[in-house]
Amino acid sequence: MAASKLLSIFFLLSFMNIVSLCIAANNFGGKAVPPETICASNPNPSYCKTVFPNQPATVYDFGLISFRKSLSQSRKFLNTIDSYLQQGSTLSQPTLGALQDCRFLAQLNFEYLTTSYNTVNSKNQTLPDSQADDCQTILSAVLTNQQTCLDGLQTTATDSRVKDELSLSLNDDTKLHSVSLDLFNKGWLPNRKIKTTWQVNGVHQGFRNGRLPLKMSERVRGIYDSARGRHRHGRRLLQTEESVLVSDIVVVSQDGSGNFTTINDAINVAPNNSVVTNGYFLIYITEGVYQEYVSIAKNKKFLMLVGDGINTTIITGDHNVADGSTTFNSATLAVVAPFFVAVNITFRNTAGPSKNQAVAMRSGADMSTFYSCSFEGYQDTLYTHSLRQFYRECDIYGTVDFIFGNAAVVVQNCNLYPRLPKSGQFNAITAQGRTDPNQNTGTSIHNCTVRPADDLAPFTGTVKTYLGRPWKEYSRTVYLQSFLDSFINPAGWHEWSGDFALTTLYYAEYANTGPGSNTANRVTWAGYQLNFNATDAAGFTVSNFLQAEDWLTPTGVPFNSGLLP
């Protein structure tokens, strides 16, 4: 309690100091404007004006006030969640489940806002591109985490008092965090130019024919040689010629011949908070069906999971909403560790179409990469929750909203397989969840193939399949240079509920092929981009949308940085 009071006093004094700076001399430079001017283009202009004193100030002054308030409110909300969780047995299990998700997300938000505040407080001018992108990304994730907590409370919690109080707090705090993101974009985010050239040489070839080349120290090579002597697949998976720096290798094998028999045990020994110069901690998972719920915490940075191949190394579970899980906590694999890489693994949720939301894999891992993996489920298979993600040469199976979330994500050279849903349902491949126009999030489907799965193929005449639908108000999804088979409904896209988000969403298609790519009869919503051209499309490539060359290259995973020629 004493620590909490000291923290509150610190924030109060800090806030008063910033206000005095604004009133006094606008020491941070730039043009001083009144609050109504800085708030005019905010998604909630009337609320935005209440955040600030009625004094002219620069965008940097206003931004620092907003960031300090955001940080203070995030801590208060975390304390509120903790106080509810301390009530324990007086709450229902569904409510406790939603609160536990909220607690996890609130802790992330406090850390994200601390990091972003430290960034803007140290430099009152436009930031370098990479630093600005990092900060915009985590501020976008703050809003995503707020919405995820709110969704969980409203759909899962059964204690109305808890639900009502926290929902009110979440709504107010989300408006505040939205102001912080808006002012960051106005003051610290540089104006970037879109690279519009077709980058023929923008393909990194670290992996070849499913092989993982590794640059290994003598110590790691000894571990590798030991593992290779015991596992017949070692030579096929691991080479020593080039490319991927690895700090250590451990082997998971169910027959007891490796270092561990479970994946979670191997993850537990991975070092905490590694840096890129240390290399990846590589966990080689041999052939088998692993019935585990794998959770990879944020401190397990630079972790790489490598299996024996799709449908050979399988991680499986069946948690689902119908049986009491939250959507967020139903994932077979959940990862929030930055710079995570997975290769040659199937992630599966076997709950089936009757159990509603059931996630095979959830990623809130910034700069995470998935190569030659399969994601198998029905409703809500692949939860691209937040931050920046890349998928290459993967298979993704599902029914309703089976690629969903609010990350900045590029799905490249993948196969998307809509399956047979339960009776009365239609398929929606994507359900993107952007809630704020200033978030740098969206789903980009690039050079992929969209075909019906084997169980759907006989029923494509009766089961409708759409490219996506707007889960949230500013939903953003594009399909670029992909093959769309004939079973795609001619309208292309489906509404969520009535006219919700039809004017604010951003849906587009560019240079797709196949009988389902004809756009003549597509929806006529205001948010559907009729004149989407090559320059627009280039904005959703690896280079421009993810700024990913620097963090993808060390993974060894191939990628096209721009549009295909």
Tokens of 453: 């799965």
DSSP 188-220: T---PPPP-S--TT-B--SSBTTBEEEEE-HHH
Which of 95, 102, 114, 112 has its CA nearest to residue 78? Answer: 102
Which of 156, 147, 148, 149 has its CA nearest to residue 92? Answer: 156
Cα distances (angstroms) measured from residue 142 to each of 89, 129, 206: 30, 20, 33
Q: Taking each helix axis from N to C terminus, what angle separates 160-187 and 93-122, rounded to the nearest 10 degrees? A: 20
Cα distances (angstroms) measured from residue 222 to each of 170, 227, 277, 290, 302: 52, 9, 20, 27, 21
Residue 97 and residue 329 in contact, taking contact as beta carbons nearer than 8 Å: yes
Q: What share of the chain is helix, strand, coil (3-state, %, to 5)?
A: 35, 25, 40
- Cβ count within 10 A of residue 295: 16
Residue 401 annotated as catalytic: yes
Q: Taking each helix axis from N to C terminus, what angle separates 93-122 and 59-85, rounded to the nearest 10 degrees? A: 150
DSSP class of residue 422 equals S
Cα distances (angstroms) measured from residue 476 to each of 174, 407, 450: 20, 10, 19
Query: Which residues, 6+ apart, have CB-to-CB distance to 321 below 8 Å?
Result: 156, 327, 330, 355, 356, 357, 358
What is residue 370's three-state secondary structure? strand
Residue 183 corresponds to which amino acid? L
Among candidate residues 248, 401, 436, 485, the one labeled active-site is: 401
Residue 399 corresponds to which amino acid? T
Tokens of 212: 């993982």
Query: Which residues, 6+ apart, have CB-to-CB distance to 314 below 8 Å?
Result: 288, 289, 290, 345, 346, 348
The residues assigned a catalytic role are: 401
